[in-house]
């Protein structure tokens, strides 16, 4: 299960401390202008070492394209690419060769495969998301030509939460601070919280919110291929994600049907619209033409610098204190990953709809 998507598909490969992370994008439409600067910027938003609230690991994350591009355009054939690992400190993980870190994939990988790459978590490392961001950049470029825009941002870190609906936020401010929050005041509170947690040798989680604009009505299947189910599957496949909700989500259970229903009306241009968007742009599993918005919950990063109790591969109980380079909070670097996965889902369903 290293392949994602149906028509627009990504197959990724590589480990955190291997030679490279890479992928093959199949089903990418031909004739898309490959904006290398845009793809590089997407990778820069995800890469480590970009601020003091992220891991200090330094990686240039330069993508090398191997196929599927000719004279600056996609050819419709598979796009192969790699992003080399250049700054791995594998010796930092020597002490973890026979130890299962709490809340990591060490134990489950060992049980499933009988072998695991302990260096940086191997395949279970969030470094694998490099391939997703590259593929997502191609999906974004394809969607841009169709008037579809996808924007994500940090809406919560620990107890610090945005209290405004997304329609009242200035998305142009998302990239103005290292936590990628469009509210400067809340962003500063989030940063201060992350700094405090980092000094304590601990970590903190939060929420990334995402808005998909310009998505036409009619994307999604009515039973097992619901659009929101596909988005949920995509988001829950991201490292450290523990929850997904769209529209009003869990908050909606507090309201009555008369308060939650989105009333239809006739727009001045003659098209059908809704007066509210509690459904989050999806009804019956199919997009209705309104903004699609959802939230993704990320747990605190499992790697902390405090002493913890665990067991080794022989079942012996031991004390563990981890060293190395790790994120105190993954939210800011997760923003482009959420956007990438959303873009791949929307493009995949768009291509399916137009094909049929």
pLDDT at 20 over 70: yes
Look at residue 49 in the predicted model and tell me its pLDDT. Answer: 78
Strand partners, 13: 22
Structure tokens at 67: 């196929």
pLDDT in tens, 82-94: 999 987 666 667 7
Could you tell me if 293 and 212 are in contact, meaning their C-beta atoms sit under 8 angstroms apart? Answer: yes
Look at residue 216 in the predicted model and tell me its pLDDT. Answer: 96
Look at residue 174 in the predicted model and tell me its pLDDT. Answer: 98
Average of per-residue pLDDT values in the chain: 94
Look at residue 91 in the predicted model and tell me its pLDDT. Answer: 67
Rounded to whole angstroms, the Cα distance separating 311 from 1 reads 29
pLDDT at 227 over 90: yes
Look at residue 122 in the predicted model and tell me its pLDDT. Answer: 81
Helix (H, G, I), strand (E, B) or coil at 325: coil
Look at residue 90 in the predicted model and tell me its pLDDT. Answer: 66
Is domain 3-355 annotated with CATH 2.40.30.10?
Answer: no
Domain ranges of the chain: 3-355
The predicted model gives 32-59 an average pLDDT of: 90
Q: Which residue has the higher pLDDT, 54 or 4?
A: 4
The predicted model gives 334-344 an average pLDDT of: 98
pLDDT in tens, 165-224: 999 999 999 999 999 999 999 999 999 999 999 999 999 999 999 999 999 999 999 999
Could you tell me if 135 and 344 are in contact, meaning their C-beta atoms sit under 8 angstroms apart? Answer: yes
Q: What is the CA radius of gyration of the chain?
A: 21
> Rounded to two decimals, what is the model's pTM?
0.95
How far is the CA of 312 from the CAs of 104, 108, 326, in angstroms? 13, 13, 22
């Amino acid at each position: 299960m290293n392949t994602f998507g149906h028509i627009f598909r990504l197959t990724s490969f590589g480990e955190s401390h291997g030679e490279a992370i890479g992928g093959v994008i199949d089903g990418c439409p031909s004739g898309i202008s490959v904006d290398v600067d845009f793809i590089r910027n997407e990778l820069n938003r995800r890469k480590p070492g970009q601020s003091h609230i992220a891991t200090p690991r330094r990686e240039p994350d330069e993508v090398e394209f191997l196929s599927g591009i000719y004279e600056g355009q996609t050819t419709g054939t598979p796009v192969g690419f790699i992003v080399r690992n250049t700054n791995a400190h594998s010796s930092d993980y020597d002490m973890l060769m026979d130890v299962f870190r709490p809340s990591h994939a060490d134990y489950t990988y060992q049980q499933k495969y009988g072998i695991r790459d302990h260096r940086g978590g191997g395949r279970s490392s969030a470094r694998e998301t490099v391939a997703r961001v590259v593929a997502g950049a191609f999906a974004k470029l394809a969607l841009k030509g169709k008037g579809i825009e996808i924007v994500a941002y940090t809406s919560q870190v620990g107890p610090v939460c945005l209290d405004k609906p997304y329609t009242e936020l200035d998305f142009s401010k998302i990239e103005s601070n290292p936590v990628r929050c469009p509210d400067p005041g809340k962003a500063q509170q989030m940063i201060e919280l992350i700094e405090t947690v980092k000094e304590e040798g601990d970590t903190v989680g939060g929420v990334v919110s995402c808005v998909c604009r310009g998505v036409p009505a009619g994307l999604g299947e009515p039973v097992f291929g619901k659009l929101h189910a596909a988005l949920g599957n995509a988001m829950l496949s991201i490292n450290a994600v523990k929850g997904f909700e769209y529209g009003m989500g869990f908050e909606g259970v507090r309201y009555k049907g008369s308060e939650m229903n989105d009333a239809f009306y006739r727009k001045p241009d003659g098209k059908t619209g809704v007066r509210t968007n509690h459904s989050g742009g999806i009804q019956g599993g199919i997009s209705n033409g309104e903004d699609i918005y959802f939230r993704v919950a990320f747990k605190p990063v499992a790697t902390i610098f405090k002493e913890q109790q665990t067991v080794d591969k022989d079942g012996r109980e031991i004390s563990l204190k981890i060293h190395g380079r790790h994120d105190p909070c993954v939210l800011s670097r997760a923003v482009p990953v959420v956007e990438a996965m959303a873009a791949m889902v929307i493009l995949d369903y768009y291509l399916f709809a137009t094909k049929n």
